[in-house]
Amino acid sequence: MGYAAFLERMGQVNDLLNAKSILSWDANTMMPPGGAVTRAKQMATLMGLARDVLVSDETRSLLDKAEGEVSSTPDGSVERTICAQTRDAIDYHLRIPSDLIRKRTELGGLGHDIWAEARKNDDFAAFTPLLEETVALNREMAEHIGYDAHPYDALMYRFEPGETMATLKTLFATLREGLLPLLRKVQGADTPRIDFLQRNYPAQQQLAFGISMARKLGYDLHRGRLDLTVHPFEVSFTRNDVRITTRIVEDWMPGSLFGTLHEAGHGLYEQFADPAFVRTPLATDLIGFYAVSGVSFGAHESQSRLFENQVGRSREFWELNFAEAKAAFPEQLADVDATAFWRGVNRVKPGFIRVEADELTYDFHIMLRVDIEAALVDGSLSVKDLPEAWNAKIKEYLDLDVPNNRLGVLQDVHWSSGQIGTFCNYTIGNVMAGQLFAKAREDAAVADGLARADYTPVREWMTEHVHRHGRRYTRDELLVRATGRTLDPAPYVAHLTQKYSEVYGV
Ligand code: ZN
């Protein structure tokens, strides 16, 4: 009885956060601009209510009773895991003083306009005071949250629990060692044709083709839908309503196509979570306050990157599916074959902007941001020296000279919202995708499916090893169960090396 009452209480937290997600989906797809100010307040109210319910005396007393009731279940049982995770989340939130949360919310509210104006005018000095305040506030947060070795570890906890600067340093060193020489070789080779990707691709046809490919990967339209937005995203309101969005550029066809496959990959994680976990803490991020089944941001990103890049940009995929692309766009692709198309969509072009980066250069944008954020937080880099540090890294990694701060340090929206610690999940997602896909391919049914354009076996493998577990296991527990190892960059580096050696003939 105690456990059931506790679970129902936690269902209310999940309901509030799902309602907040619906407001957020609407704000990013349908809402007229006039609604922005009141909508932000509505969402803040729901999030505040979710927090109040979670840390309330009533919930804590229900949790006490539930813990007593489930203590006889085996170690690691779903019931005990749910209780332990809720206990951790309550402790986490109670460690952070509420005036600090209020300050961060206020800072985030002010930040967007100040950042947008500074970026427009290429005026880093106008953004400096806000960023200095953000860094100071996050440093204070880190002290309250607590950490062993580096204050940045405390800030990453919300997005990538368990990740530390120490492990990231080793990971990044391995990636740089494996990828920089490959990038230099590619930079010295002839570039594949991309002219045919820049022809006119009408929006409706792009949408239809994108969704047909997403369905092929297993994305279920009965429990999903695709809408247009400015910055594409996936959001779920339980596993039974998982929405994705895309942005269409009529003269750059890969943007929407691979964006749709990416978001569909995120969607699969949610759509194929265990139905028994609906409305429970195993479908709720109680630290970051999102109704989500993915166990970390990096784990979630592993599924988007896997279906977008490991499956969707593979040679095998286009040898089997190019005929469909050609049927959808007969004029635009009249003078192209499957190999040319596959090479085109894998073109490498080092650039200044992270969100436009290709698969080979993307991680360098992330390493630079993580190193810079950590240095800001531990005080070894000051905000005023930030542009110089940024530009030096872009030169070192990509051999490019940053012409202005708009194309450099002012490009990302993240810092304007008061958030530090969010970037590592992109690279962790890439690495995990490489690791999971390499393991999945060892399964005969998966390999056979991939060779016949049947993506059900690979989706089922991911559901069996990743999706269905929701938030039950930590990211590393999930990886060990699925692949026998914790995070291991070797398969990812091998994947990029093999692909780009083939695409570029180097
Ligand atoms: Zn993503």
Q: Is residue 247 a contact partner of residue 228, using CB atoms and an 8 Å limit?
A: yes
pLDDT higher than 90, residue 222: yes
Extract the tokens encoding 502.
Answer: 């083939």
Q: In the prediction, which pLDDT does 98 show?
A: 86
Describe the crossing of helices 490-504 and 165-187 by its angle, rounded to 10 degrees.
10
Strands (DSSP E) contained in 310-461 are: none
Q: In the prediction, which pLDDT does 40 show?
A: 87
Percent of the chain with pLDDT over 70: 100
Short-list 406, 304, 404, 414, CA closest to 366: 414
Q: In the prediction, which pLDDT does 367 show?
A: 97
pLDDT band (50, 70, 90) for residue 474: very high
Structural domain of residue 7, as residue ranges?
Answer: 2-123
Residue 89: exposed, middle, or buried by beta-carbon count in 10 A (0-12, 13-18, 19+)? buried
pLDDT, mean of residues 298-323: 98
C-alpha 257 to ligand 1 mean position (Å): 14
350: left (phi over 0), alpha (psi -120 to 50) or beta: beta
**33-38-40 Cα angle (round to 5):** 90
**What is the H or E stretch that residue 436 is in?**
helix 424-441
What is the rounded CA–CA span in Å between residue 303 and residue 265?
5
pLDDT band (50, 70, 90) for residue 107: confident
pLDDT, mean of residues 31-38: 90
**195-201-204 Cα angle (round to 5):** 165
pLDDT higher than 90, residue 109: no
Strands (DSSP E) contained in 183-281 are: 224-228, 234-236, 242-246
Q: In the prediction, which pLDDT does 479 show?
A: 98
Segment 118-124 long-range contacts (CB within 8 Å, at least 24 positions apart): 118/410, 119/405, 119/406, 119/410, 119/411, 120/406, 122/404, 122/405, 122/406, 122/410, 123/405, 124/386, 124/387, 124/405, 124/409, 124/410
Span 333-364, pLDDT tens digits: 999 999 999 999 999 999 999 999 999 999 99
pLDDT, mean of residues 434-462: 98
Alpha carbon separation from 231 to 52, 259, 281, 367, 413 (Å, rounded): 31, 10, 28, 22, 11
Q: Is residue 318 a contact partner of residue 503, using CB atoms and an 8 Å limit?
A: no
Residue 389 in domain: no
Residue 101 in domain: yes
Query: What is the per-residue burial (b if ≥16 Cβ within 10 Å, else e) of 390-402?
Result: bbebbeebbebeb
C-alpha 301 to ligand 1 mean position (Å): 5
C-alpha 448 to ligand 1 mean position (Å): 27
pLDDT band (50, 70, 90) for residue 447: very high
pLDDT, mean of residues 284-301: 97
Alpha carbon separation from 191 to 153, 230, 255 (Å, rounded): 40, 29, 19
Residue 407: exposed, middle, or buried by beta-carbon count in 10 A (0-12, 13-18, 19+)? middle
Residue 191 in domain: no
469 DSSP 8-state letter: G
pLDDT, mean of residues 11-16: 98
Residue 58 in domain: yes
CA dihedral over 9, 10, 13, 19, signed as positive or negative: negative
pLDDT higher than 80, residue 246: yes
pLDDT band (50, 70, 90) for residue 239: very high
Residue 26 in domain: yes
pLDDT higher than 90, residue 112: no
477 is catalytic: no
Q: In the prediction, which pLDDT does 104 show?
A: 86
C-alpha 357 to ligand 1 mean position (Å): 13
Span 400-423, pLDDT tens digits: 999 999 999 999 999 998 889 999
* Helix, strand, coil abundance in the chain, percent, nearest 5: 65, 5, 30
What is the rounded CA–CA span in Å between residue 31 and residue 431?
36
Which residues, by Cβ under 5 Å, contact ligand 1, an ion? Answer: 304
Short-list 316, 306, 308, CA closest to 342: 316
Residue 109 in domain: yes
**361-366-367 Cα angle (round to 5):** 95
Tell me the H-state helices in 56-189: 57-70, 78-95, 98-120, 124-145, 151-156, 165-187
pLDDT, mean of residues 45-60: 96
**What is the H or E stretch that residue 9 is in?**
helix 2-29
What is the rounded CA–CA span in Å between residue 418 and residue 425?
17
Number of H helices, E strands in the chain: 20, 3
CA dihedral over 135, 137, 143, 148, signed as positive or negative: negative
pLDDT higher than 90, residue 105: no
What is the rounded CA–CA span in Å between residue 256 and residue 66?
47
Short-list 296, 272, 293, 273, CA closest to 281: 293
Q: In the prediction, which pLDDT does 101 show?
A: 87
C-alpha 304 to ligand 1 mean position (Å): 6
pLDDT, mean of residues 422-441: 97
C-alpha 9 to ligand 1 mean position (Å): 31
pLDDT, mean of residues 369-380: 97
281 DSSP 8-state letter: G
Domain count, the chain: 1
What is the rounded CA–CA span in Å between residue 469 and residue 282?
8
pLDDT band (50, 70, 90) for residue 189: very high
C-alpha 33 to ligand 1 mean position (Å): 25
Q: Is residue 344 a contact partner of residue 301, using CB atoms and an 8 Å limit?
A: no
Q: In the prediction, which pLDDT does 36 show?
A: 86
pLDDT, mean of residues 65-89: 97
Tell me which of 67, 263, 270, 308 is the catalytic residue.
263
C-alpha 433 to ligand 1 mean position (Å): 12
pLDDT higher than 90, residue 381: yes
Extract the tokens encoding 175.
Answer: 């990636």
Residue 106 in domain: yes
What's the mean pLDDT when you consider all of the chain?
Answer: 96
C-alpha 310 to ligand 1 mean position (Å): 14
pLDDT higher than 80, residue 272: yes
pLDDT higher than 80, residue 275: yes
Residue 72 in domain: yes
pTM: 0.96
